[in-house]
Amino acid sequence: ALIMLTEEDPILRAFELSADLRELSLVEVEFRNDYEELAQQCKTFAKDLLAQARNSRELEVILNHTASDEHVDKRGLLEERMNLSRLKLAIKYNQKEFVSQSNCQQFLNTAWFGQMAGYRRKHTFKKILTVLTVGIFWPLLSFCYLLAPRSHIGRIIHTPFMKFIIHGASYFTFLLLLNLYSLVYNEDKKNTMGPALERIDYLL
């Protein structure tokens, strides 16, 4: 209650106090149990404050809040400026209770899947089929995003889940082409100087 009354940013203060108390427990070993208990109370306090969020908008404000006077972005959950600075700070201070709080996890799932929220409810076969389809057609999807990033399909591609699949597929494709080049073309042209560019060279 004292933190709520005296601090402008009670969650940040709870993080800092928890870290300070944990360090003191290692220095003043005779009071270790007391310090650890107080540190745990600070962690629980921060988690309980997060639990008071009534909707996704309040969660977004809390998890993106910074200690500076920067302008708080008031756009949607999936916009580019969402930095999750408060969540990153919680990880830095080892606030496991705060990060694992149900509201926080729900928000992360919403931000991760975005407009593909229905993916989690699909059958396993359909999930695999979706991932394989995106992985195969990632060049076309990337081109569509370059042409119309604000379109419906562009917003779907912009979600972290889709970007993760596309980045992984593009990296796998690059490695596949690189290995194909080294196994096939280098063997045929190892005794030549400056071979002419082949189709696979342009792909790489």
Whole-number Å distance between alpha carbons of 41 and 185: 64
- pLDDT at position 89: 92
Whole-number Å distance between alpha carbons of 34 and 194: 73
Whole-number Å distance between alpha carbons of 117 and 71: 29
Give every residue of the chain whose pLDDT is below 50, as ranges: 69-80
- pLDDT at position 187: 58
The letter for the amino acid at 2 is L
Q: Which two tokens stand for residue 79?
A: 């916009």
- pLDDT at position 110: 85
- pLDDT at position 179: 86
Q: Report the Cα–Cα distance between both ends of the chain, in Å, rounded.
A: 61
Query: Per residue in 122-173, pLDDT tens?
Result: 888 999 999 999 999 999 999 999 998 888 888 889 889 999 999 999 999 9
> How far apart, in Å, are the Cα atoms of 60 and each of 2, 24, 111?
25, 33, 10
Query: Per residue in 132-141, pLDDT tens?
Result: 999 999 999 9
Among 133, 135, 134, which residue's Cα sits nearest to residue 172? 135
Helix axes 32-51, 10-27, angle to 10 degrees: 160
- pLDDT at position 44: 93
The answer to whether 85 and 11 have CB atoms below 8 angstroms apart is no
- pLDDT at position 111: 86
> How far apart, in Å, are the Cα atoms of 82 and each of 65, 77, 102?
10, 7, 20
